[in-house]
Structure 1
């Protein structure tokens, strides 16, 4: 029976996946999100969300504006789902911020964008917009804080859901011979700084990360 560490507290249904597969697991939140107050500038064609955190920050501040229709660009299926659950129209979706920037470059050069980001956001999208002289404004809408926690044991597998979660974990721990299961390519890039034992989810969902871990350890029992 494998030992698994999740760097995110799982939902009841997600825990059931591991329990039904007879996997031992420990869970904690490697990061903490702090939402910030801000004004929503309504003079932009589209709103850009690179994570669910940006969407939640927007929703907390939306009541202060007079918005009647929001047209959104986003990264990831989970972000898209959250937007649509809250009646925001998703115009473009991409796997990562670089791909989103490439889509904007191809089809939306004359449009303007309001981007909701955090303190640890990546630079690729902004470089693409600057390079093509595309009008945008960045809204610093949330902060990601790293929650450091040291473990005295080595886990067979560690589940990672963001680059910042990786950074938090390795501050106090080493991966050693652990397998790292990542929600996507961007997270895997960060993990590969510390280990080559990396498996990336087929879909960027928490559930698929769990499935990959279960499949791996079941086949290696």
Structure 2
């Protein structure tokens, strides 16, 4: 039987993944360290609703942005069916597939800068819409601006920190965003023998002020399923941990 490992996840997880990890002796406790809330004003909602009935190229780098826009449009007959979509892989793409026709997805990449380069290469015609949150990173808009592509940016959600002090000495902590990193470490220190699991290199970079690089495990491919598999594989190969 594998040794038991207690792991903290800083965002909600599907129960099926928690059960899957438990069969490998990895027991995951969930405490959400951020909360997402829509900030679409009535005026912005009217603009987005109008845009949804027109051809446009739409960029999503967050599953939260996809959800915010899609929930706004769910009562409309035209829900952005004429949009061409560029988005990040992992949770963002998974959420796009929930709300949009998969054939609308023109390109998907692991990181924002790669997505910007793809857009610069494709040079899509018509409006270029970027739906994002209040803590969106600069790589994509800056790269597009440097390449001569103008964005129409719409902030559709904001991230609210929900930190809590946890006394448990976890052996690993899962992070899916830089904002969750900041929230967690505002009230906690990493247990001495714990490792951090990061969904990607951006989140891993946010961890460096708090721990050393050799205690950060980066998921090879962004995605919730892939993250849990990374955790399972790590502890399967480090059973004396």
| TM-score, scaled to structure 1 | 0.91
Partner of 1:26: 29
CA offset digits 1:121-172 (Å, max 9, x no partner):
0001111122123121110100111111111233110011111111111111
Alignment coverage as a number of residue pairs:
221
What's the RMSD between the two structures over aligned residues? Answer: 2.0
Partner of 2:68: 57
Task: For 2:94 and 2:12, locate their aligned partners in 1 and report how far apart those are by CA, in whole Å.
Answer: 20
Greater CA deviation, 201-210 or 115-124? 201-210
TM superposition shift of 1:181: 0.8
Q: The residue matched to 1:92 in structure 2 has which SS?
A: strand
**Correspondence list, 1:140-155, <5 A:** 140-155=155-170
**Correspondence list, 1:99-110, <5 A:** 99-108=114-123
TM superposition shift of 1:86: 2.1
Partner of 1:76: 89
Residue 48 in structure 1 maps to residue 63 in structure 2: no
CA contact (8 A) 2:60 2:86 kept: yes
Task: For 2:209 and 2:96, locate their aligned partners in 1 and report how far apart those are by CA, in whole Å.
Answer: 33
| TM-score, scaled to structure 2 | 0.84
Greater CA deviation, 194-203 or 56-65? 56-65
**Correspondence list, 1:44-193, <5 A:** 45-62=56-73, 63=75, 66=78, 67-88=80-101, 89-108=104-123, 111-175=126-190, 176-193=192-209
TM superposition shift of 1:186: 1.4
CA offset digits 1:7-26 (Å, max 9, x no partner):
11221101112211122332
Partner of 2:236: 218
CA offset digits 1:166-185 (Å, max 9, x no partner):
11111111124310011112
CA contact (8 A) 2:91 2:224 kept: no
CA contact (8 A) 2:115 2:140 kept: yes
TM superposition shift of 1:110: 5.3
Task: For 2:168 and 2:90, locate their aligned partners in 1 and report how far apart those are by CA, in whole Å.
Answer: 34
TM superposition shift of 1:50: 0.5
Q: The residue matched to 1:186 in structure 2 has which SS?
A: helix
Gaps of 5+ in 1: none
Task: For 1:170 and 1:135, locate their aligned partners in 2 and report how far apart those are by CA, in whole Å.
Answer: 36
CA contact (8 A) 2:113 2:140 kept: yes
CA contact (8 A) 1:109 1:134 kept: no
CA offset digits 1:60-84 (Å, max 9, x no partner):
2224685441211101133223223
